[in-house]
Amino acid sequence: MAISVDPPGVSRDLCKKAGYTFTVLSDPSADVIRRYDLLHVGGGPDGHDISRPAEFLVDSSRVVRWVNFTEDVRVRARADEMLAAARSLH
């Protein structure tokens, strides 16, 4: 599931353009982003508050089993790394 400050309209357009079939959630007030301590103050265009990039693999007990915090926004999570983490769950 993807989460950002983008409103549902923007997410819907993004999914249509990119052909995404997974769930994309909207957190426009960045409440959840703050709860996860991922707020990047003024990180967006025009100084908007956005989320910093981060990935969490959460199991059915809501326990985090894998995280990825990039130090550089240009270095994006690779699908094979995320799939390997998912497969390692028993």
Partner 1 sequence: MVDVVEGRRNWALGVGFLLALGALLCNLVFFVSPPGQRVIPWLSALLGAVALISIARGLWCAFAQPKVYRGRILNSLLSLVSLLLVAASMFAFFHARALPRSAGAPQVGQQAPDFMLADANVQPVSLTQLFAPAVDDPRAIPPKAVLLVFYRGYW
* 59 near partner 1 (CB under 8 A): yes
* 47 near partner 1 (CB under 8 A): no
Q: Give the three-class secondary structure for 24.
A: strand
* 84 near partner 1 (CB under 8 A): no
Give Cα 35 to chain centroid, integer Å: 13
Cα within 13 Å of Cα(69), Cβ side:
7
- How far apart are CB 88 and partner 1 at their closest, in Å? 10
Rounded CA-CA distance 51/41 in Å is 8
By the criterion CB under 8 A, which residues form the site for partner 1?
A: 1-6, 8, 10-12, 14-15, 23-27, 31-33, 35-41, 43-45, 48, 50-60, 62-67, 69-78, 82, 86, 89
